[in-house]
Structure 1
Amino acid sequence: MNSNAGKSRHLSIHIDRTAADVYAFAANPVNLPAWAHGLGGTVEQVGDEWIADSSPLGRVTVAFTPRNDLGVLDHHVTLPSGETFHNPVRVIADGPASEVVFTLRRQPGTTDADFDRDTAAVTADLARLKDLLESD
């Protein structure tokens, strides 16, 4: 049994934009390719679902929590296999700025190297989000 399964890392970044600005941008699936490179280069709406063409994962479905005033950006990513991953994300006000916190959950069977690679990918995505919003 993998004793590390179920462990989480809370990855965060400070962004010099209001929480409302960050939330509005990050909650719009159309903006995902600009900052969430792990989900691929294109996102399109098909019916009520958002489909990301994500290599090496293939085409995945992304479903966000309904829009809310609490900064909750949780989303589910469903792989072509049907396996679904829940990704908790929060945008937290910090005065006139904000903090984005992504909880990366370690899945059963994930090696230390793979978990470190996932951590680096999410950290890079958050840095791109910061760069996009602070340069706007």
Structure 2
Amino acid sequence: MGISIATPLQQAYAFAHRPENFRLWAAGLASSLHESEEGWIADTADGPAVVEFSPPNGHGILDHRVRIAGRPEIYIPLRMIENGDGTEVIFTLLRQPDMDDEAFDRDAALVMQDLQTLKRLLENQSPA
């Protein structure tokens, strides 16, 4: 799934790659995301989750991995791609082993809401 954002790639990526900004648009990580000695931690219904973000890069890669004790690691591929003066954001939602269709559809709807929030934030920013 993806969304077009009327913001140049460099500006969009400069905002989106920073873990501290994920809590502003990625509801799945919520406002509980914080940095600790163990790395970035988010509070979830299943307990604390360690979130590992891709290092800053020149390729628009925003992948991250979520680890919750006793559960399989969740890999989240996320990309930003230049499209003229704007940016395409592409989120690949992978079905988790224990997800039924209803849970997957609910997750997909939440991801789209997150992408729409990111779009609003970026399109309302002043140019860098």
- Structure 2 length-normalised TM: 0.90
Alignment correspondent of 2:116: 127
**Number of aligned pairs?**
125
Q: 1:13-32 alignment to 2 at 5 Å?
A: 13-32=3-22
Q: Distance in 1 between matches of 2:88 and 2:47?
A: 30
Gaps of 5+ in 2: none
1:43 positional shift: 1.9
Q: Distance in 1 between matches of 2:100 and 2:72?
A: 18
1:122 positional shift: 0.5
Q: Distance in 2 between matches of 1:57 and 1:36?
A: 18
Percent identity (aligned): 42
Q: Is the counterpart of residue 117 in structure 1 residue 94 in structure 2?
A: no
Q: Is the counterpart of residue 83 in structure 1 residue 72 in structure 2?
A: yes
- Provide Cα deviations, 1:47-74, integer angstroms capped at 9, x if missing partner: 36111223x3432111111111010111
Q: Distance in 1 between matches of 2:38 and 2:114?
A: 25
SS at match of 1:129: helix
Alignment correspondent of 2:2: 12
Q: Distance in 2 between matches of 1:43 and 1:52?
A: 4
Gaps of 5+ in 1: 1-10
1:105 positional shift: 0.3
Q: Is the counterpart of residue 104 in structure 1 residue 89 in structure 2?
A: no
Q: Distance in 2 between matches of 1:66 and 1:48?
A: 16
Pick which of 117-126 and 42-51 moved more: 42-51
Alignment correspondent of 1:94: 83
Larger strand percent: 1
1:45 positional shift: 1.1
SS at match of 2:93: strand
- Structure 1 length-normalised TM: 0.85
SS at match of 1:67: coil
Q: Distance in 1 between matches of 2:103 and 2:120?
A: 26
Q: Distance in 1 between matches of 2:114 and 2:37?
A: 27
Q: CA RMSD in A?
A: 1.4
